[in-house]
Chains A and B, each alone.
Chain A
Amino acid sequence: MSRVIQVVGLRYRYPDGTQALDGIDFHLNSGESVALFGANGSGKTTFVLHLNGLLRGEGSIEICGMPLEDETLEQIRSKVGVVFQDSDEQLFMPTVLEDVAFGPLNLGLSPDDALTRARTVLKRVGMAHTFDRAPYHLSAGEKKRVAIAGVLAMDPEILVLDEPTTFLDPPTRRDLLTLLRGLPQAKVVVTHDANLARALTSRAVFFDQGRITGQGDVIEIIQRFHWEYS
C-alpha cells in the first residue's frame, strides 16, 4: 500500500503563543481510515488544517508523494478534501448546486462540466432533490451530505472529516455512516464518537497537548484511553 500522507516533526504555534502541535509524526496509507481522538484543544483540528496547507507549521508534510509547498498547494488542495465541523461555514453559495460546483470550477472545469459533476455527486450522496434549494433551508443531516458532496466533486484521494456526526440525530448518523463507508477514499476522521470510529476506521491516533501519545488498533486505543461514555 502506498503512503498518501506522511508527516514528520510537525510543530505549530498560534500567534498568541499557544503551542498547538509539538512534533507530530503521522502517516496514512491509500484506502486506509484513521480516527483522531483527543480532548478539546489537544490539536486534532489544528493538525488536519495543515494537511491541505490551510495552516503552515514547521516540519515536513508529503501528500501523495508531493511535498507541501507553495508550488504544490493547488494540487494538494484537490487531493485532500476537508469536510468542516460546521456545515454552515462550508455551504456559502446561494444554491446547493452552485455550492457543489464551486470546487470543480476552481479546478478549471467549464461551467457545464462543473454543473454536470455537481449533479452526479449530489445524486451519489442522495441529495438530487436539493439542486436549486438554498443551503439554509436544509436540515443538519442534509447540510452535511451536501458539504461532503462539495468535497467529493473535487475528486479527492483523501477525505478529512472534522467531527462529521456533530449535531446529527441517531438515524441521520447511521445514514451518514453508510454513505462514508461506501466512499473509497482514505479517511482521516476527527471525532469524539467512539462508535463512529469503530464503524468507520481500523486505526486510531490519540492527541494530547499537541502530541501523539498513542496509536494503534482503534478498539485498543478506545480501551486504553477510556474513550467512551461508560
Chain B
Amino acid sequence: MHHLVIDRWSRGSSSLHQRDPRAKLAALLVFLVVLSTTRPAAQWAFIAYAALLIVAAHVARLPILGLAGRAALVLPFSATFALLTWWSGDSLRALALAEKSFLSGTAALLLVGTTPLTGWTAALESWRVPRMLILVIQFVYRYLFVIAEQVQRMRWAALCRGPQQRGFRLAAGLVGVLFARSWQRADGIYHAMLARGFRGRFVPAPPAPFRSSDALFFSTCLAGCLAIRILL
C-alpha cells in the first residue's frame, strides 16, 4: 500500500529527515507558489525545479523512480484539464499544467516521505490550522489502512463465491457495506476515546525548538526557488 511505503520512507535518518517539519512545510509552500506562478513558456525553469526535487530526493535517500511513480497518480486528474487546454489550441499551457501538477505532487510526497505524520501535522498545528482539520487528516491516515484491509477481505470473500464477479454491482455492494462498517467503527473509536477521558479536545504536544540549521535549510530553498523563478 502506498501510504505504508511512504510511512516507512518518513522514518529515515537523512539530513532532510532531520529538518524541522515547519521548515520543510514552509519550503514546500514557497515551492508551490513559485511553481504555480511560473510562465508556461519558461520550460527551462520546470527542468530546474525537477532537478531541485531530484537532488532533494537523493539527499533524503528516497527512490527517485518510486517517488515519481507515486506522484504520477495526480496526472489522470490534471490530464483532463490539460487535454481540454490542448484542444483549445494552447499546447504549451497544456504541457505546463501537467508539469506543474506532477512537480507539485512530487514535492508534497517529498515532504510526507521525509516527515512522519505526527511531524507535519504538528507543524500545521503550530501555524494555527484548525484542529478539527488536523484531526480529520490524522484519522483518515490512521484508518485508511484498516479500511483498505477490510476492502481486500470483502473482495476476496466475494470472489470466493464467484470468480466472475466484477464490475459495478460488486463495487456498489462493497461500498455500501464499507460505509455501514466505517460508521460502526467510527462509533467504536468515539466510545474508546470517551472511555479514556476524552472531552472533545486533544491536548497538543509542546513545539520543538526551531534550530539555526532549519532556518538555513529554509533560506536555501527560498533562494533556490526564487533564483529559478526570476532567472529562467
Contact = CB atoms under 8 A, between A and B. Distances in A.
Interface string A126-169: 00000010111000000000000011001000000000000000
A26 interface: no
Interface string A65-105: 00000000010011011101010111011110010001101
Interface string A100-133: 0011011100010010000000000000000010
A136 B118 contact: no
A89 B206 contact: no
A49 interface: yes
A54 interface: yes
A43 B118 CA distance: 39
Nearest to A112: B206
Given A111-B205, A134-B7, A136-B146, A106 B196 contact: yes
A94 B188 contact: no
Interface in B201-226: 203, 205-206
Contacts of B195: 52, 54, 77, 80-82, 84
A54 B138 CA distance: 24
B191 A84 contact: yes
Interface residues of B, number: 28
Interface residues of A, number: 33
Contact of A89 (B118, B138, B188): B188
Interface of A: 49, 52, 54, 74, 77-78, 80-82, 84, 86, 88-90, 92-95, 98, 102-103, 105-107, 111, 114, 132, 134-136, 150-151, 154
22 contacts: A54-B191, A54-B194, A54-B195, A74-B199, A82-B195, A84-B188, A84-B191, A84-B192, A84-B195, A89-B189, A92-B143, A92-B189, A94-B117, A94-B118, A95-B118, A98-B118, A102-B198, A106-B197, A106-B198, A107-B197, A136-B142, A150-B196
By Cβ-Cβ distance, the 3 closest A-B pairs, closest first, are: A106-B197, A89-B188, A103-B196
